[in-house]
Structure 1
Amino acid sequence: MPEVDLVFPRAWIEFEDPADPDQVFRCDLTWLTSGWTCIFGEGCQGIYDTAPDSGCCTLGAHFSDRDDEDRVKVWVDRLDDAHWHHRDQALDGRGRLTRKGWVETDADGARKTRVVDGACIFHNPRGSAAGYGCALHGLALDRDVHFVETKPDVCWQLPIRRTYRDVERPDGTTYLEVGIEEYDRRGWGAGGHDLDWYCSGNTEAHVGAEPVYLSNAVELVTLMGQPAYDVLAAACERHLRSRSALALHPADPRH
């Protein structure tokens, strides 16, 4: 089945953040109860048909801020040739690993991981002795930590999207709305419509054994905090039990 349409009915829930009364979460229950799962290396066609093995790693990863970059650096310094295929390309003339070796700036001056051989410098190509896939993901598995610790924010968040919006109520009071939703093509900006393939709306990727709110629980707790996640998880359970038509993402095979 081809990629589903971007516009379809969704079920949402809003609730006050138990840890911050000035913050309200608005969460997409249809997405969070869907069967999406990452199929990198197992049917993922990549965002460009010229680089199917690179998945969504083709463009490199933009850092959300300096803290994100500094956190990743701690783990980059622990990578060796056994984990990282392109490590030699991050070394300076004296054979030392430098930040300049794996960070570059885009046309707008934003900092991101370097692109080497048509993909993120941390992408190990098929057939590499370091193992196929993300070097930082592989390191997390080797060190028995979750990849939310080792990878850039954007890499472990996709395709969950967190947004922020200031909202004014009719009585003049305000609150911060935090959206937790599907990071579909539109999340990439106008260029998202030009991607050759995208996973979140493809039936090929909706084959998970668990719904997103469970399979990506660590990511959601990191994005929301444990108290808010607990509220969300309970709402997702109720939503699935409701058997509402809005409980099903149109890309799910059970739809």
Structure 2
Amino acid sequence: MANEHPDAPRGGDQVDEVGLDFAREWIEFFDPDNPEHLIRADLTWLTSRWTCIFAAGCHGIIAGRADQGCCNHGAYFSDDDDRKRVKRYVALLTPDNWANHPGRAVRKSDWIETDELEGEQRPKTKTVDGVCVFHNPLGSEAGYGCALHNLAGTLGKHPLETKPDVCWQLPVRRTQEWITRPDDSQILLSTIEEYDRRGWGEGGLDLDWYCTSSPEAHVGAEPLYLTYGPELTELLGEAAYRQLVEYAEARLDAGLIAEHPATSASEDR
């Protein structure tokens, strides 16, 4: 499904992707546990059949590096708590499960660097040879893929506990802001939406391939709001997630009008 919109992806031409601008259905509801927390959710995205196809057909965001998925630029930490949490799990990595392990007690400089983000220097996971330091290459004796992701499986934990926030949230995007209403009362607005190419900033449109726009990645057996249940629960809380599920299922039962075009294209193949 080609797209000629001026904001259509301008990366490589490996595979077709849908454009970034299309009709979406949204739902707004208040958190059952907090009447001052309003949630705005993109049902078109959350009811899509997107699923991660890392190592199962993923083309990667950089041409010729399909095996690295979207790990090339490393991950900025959302805050100090995020960094400290990851640090605890980095300490559990060994040369047996982390290809870039230094072979001694891990130091901050082994896995953290700073880079500019939105005009300020921010800490992020280090990159080595153009990919995140925690990426174990294909064929590695330490096990292919993210060392922190693999560690979660070894420990019997969900990867959202061991990986940087941005890594387990992608490609779901949560933004939060305080809204002042006409009566001067304030509420917290949490928006849950697709982390599309634009979410990567100015360089997003130049990625060689991106999964949320690709029908090849919209092949999940269940809709995203179910497959990403743990992540959405972490982002919204248990009560709000249960409410989201109810609304999503009711909308699907009634007939979703604005289906994600990448899901539609995948179903038409």
**Structure 1 and Structure 2 fold alike (TM over 0.5):** yes
SS at match of 1:61: coil
Deviation at 1:106, TM superposition (A): 0.6
2:110 is aligned with 1:101: yes
Distance 2:99 2:50 in 1: 29
Candidates 240, 251, 254, aligned match of 2:262: 251
The one-letter code matched in structure 1 to 2:60 is: G
Q: Give the corresponding residue for 1:119.
A: 131
Distance 1:22 1:191 in 2: 36
Q: How does 1:12-161 map to 2 (within 5 A)?
A: 12-88=26-102, 95-107=104-116, 108-161=120-173
Q: Give the corresponding residue for 1:240.
A: 252
Deviation at 1:239, TM superposition (A): 1.1
SS at match of 1:251: helix
The one-letter code matched in structure 2 to 1:4 is: V
Distance 1:225 1:77 in 2: 28
Deviation at 1:196, TM superposition (A): 1.0
2:209 is aligned with 1:200: no
Deviation at 1:176, TM superposition (A): 1.7
Distance 1:21 1:130 in 2: 47
Count of residues paired in the alignment: 249
The one-letter code matched in structure 1 to 2:194 is: E
Distance 1:136 1:241 in 2: 38
Cα-to-partner distance string for 1:190-225 (whole Å, 9 max, x where unaligned) = 211111111111101001111111101000000000
Deviation at 1:18, TM superposition (A): 1.5
Structure 1 alignment gaps of length 5 or more: none
Q: Give the corresponding residue for 2:181.
A: 169
Distance 1:105 1:244 in 2: 44
Q: After alignment, is 129-138 or 95-104 more displaced?
A: 95-104
What is the alpha-carbon root mean square deviation over aligned residues? 1.3
The one-letter code matched in structure 1 to 2:106 is: L
Structure 2 alignment gaps of length 5 or more: 2-15
SS at match of 1:106: strand
Candidates 200, 215, 223, aligned match of 2:235: 223
SS at match of 2:261: coil
Q: Percent identity?
A: 53
SS at match of 2:175: strand
Deviation at 1:86, TM superposition (A): 0.7
TM-score when normalising by structure 2? 0.89
TM-score when normalising by structure 1? 0.94
